Chain A
Amino acid sequence: EAGVAQSPRYKIIEKRQSVAFWCNPISGHATLYWYQQILGQGPKLLIQFQNNGVVDDSQLPKDRFSAERLKGVDSTLKIQPAKLEDSAVYLCASSWRNTGELFFGEGSRLTVL
């Protein structure tokens, strides 16, 4: 069974530029999550989708971050404009249901200069 796929693995941009990350969850998983992990900290949930609807985006900085999950399958997370403090690893995860076991992708490491 294929795991959670993410791209790109690495991205370096300058502040005020934009960036987009893509995630394809495990087939059949209804719930998709985007987490932000800053170096030395645990992952922090940015947004949770159930199919193509948003369940929780309370910690998403909506002035610069946006995410969508069209057709309830893959998802895109966008940052525009980026700030230095956005440097982090962006992790996508999926689960069969909202209390089910989460499986993570390898992450997308963002460096903002």
Chain B
Amino acid sequence: GIQVEQSPPDLILQEGANSTLRCNFSDSVNNLQWFHQNPWGQLINLFYIPSGTKQNGRLSATTVATERYSLLYISSSQTTDSGVYFCAFSGGSNYKLTFGKGTLLTVNP
């Protein structure tokens, strides 16, 4: 079945540091999205990125579909970046969006 694996599971940073989150997936990609779940539980869209590279302020993402992985980069991290980052994927003949287990990011002042 569809597999979505995220790493690392937990990450602790000092404010101002940079980080890279990884998402590996098991099939050809139809849809890949990155979300940030804030402490109040809201899932915020970061990137819709089945292929290529996108940037939005301090965040950027790259998906290499041929090698079945995606990366989320956070530069100059801030305490408000804390929360859980989810990768969600659908692929092959399956259009169901499956979530990874997430990366819990803590940014300390």
Measured CB to CB, the residues of A under 8 A from B are 33, 37, 41-45, 48, 55-56, 89, 91, 98-104, 106-107, 109
Across the A-B interface, give the 7 residue pairs with the lowest CB-CB distance, nearest first.
A42-B99, A101-B48, A104-B43, A98-B95, A99-B30, A99-B31, A43-B99
* Option from B41, B95, B98 in Cβ contact (under 8 Å) with A99: B95
Q: A43-B99, A48-B96 are in contact. Are A102 and B42 (CB under 8 A)?
A: no
* Option from B42, B43, B95 in Cβ contact (under 8 Å) with A55: B95
> Within the assembled complex, what's the spacing in Å between the Cα atoms of A56 and B95?
9
Question: Which positions 32-70 of chain B face chain A at CB distance < 8 Å?
Answer: 33, 35, 41-43, 45, 48, 50
Pairs A–B under 8 Å by Cβ, sample size 24:
A33-B97, A42-B102, A43-B43, A43-B99, A44-B99, A55-B95, A56-B95, A56-B96, A89-B41, A99-B30, A99-B31, A99-B50, A99-B90, A99-B95, A100-B48, A101-B33, A101-B48, A102-B33, A102-B45, A102-B97, A104-B42, A104-B45, A106-B41, A106-B42
Is there contact, CB below 8 Å, between B43 and A100?
no
Tell me the nearest residue of chain A to B84, going by C-beta: A42
Tell me the nearest residue of chain B to A44, going by C-beta: B99
User: Does B71 interact with chain A (Cβ within 8 Å)?
Assistant: no
Is there contact, CB below 8 Å, between B41 and A107?
yes
Write out the residue numbers on chain A whose beta carbons fall within 8 Å of the beta carbon of B90.
99
- From residue A20, how far is it (CB to closest CB) to chain B in Å? 20
Is there contact, CB below 8 Å, between A109 and B41?
yes
> Within the assembled complex, what's the spacing in Å between the Cα atoms of A104 and B35?
10
Q: Of residues B98, B99, B100, B101, which shows the largest number of chain A Cβ atoms within 10 Å of its Cβ?
A: B99
User: Does B88 interact with chain A (Cβ within 8 Å)?
Assistant: yes
> Within the assembled complex, what's the spacing in Å between the Cα atoms of A109 and B40?
11
The 0/1 profile, CB within 8 Å of A marked 1, for residues 89-107 of chain B is 0100001111111100000
Q: Of residues B45, B86, B97, which shows the largest number of chain A Cβ atoms within 10 Å of its Cβ?
A: B97
> Within the assembled complex, what's the spacing in Å between the Cα atoms of A48 and B30?
16
A37-B41, A43-B99, A107-B42 known; 17 new pairs, CB 8 Å cut-off, are A45-B97, A45-B98, A48-B95, A48-B96, A56-B95, A89-B41, A98-B95, A99-B30, A99-B31, A99-B50, A99-B90, A99-B95, A100-B48, A101-B31, A101-B33, A103-B45, A104-B45
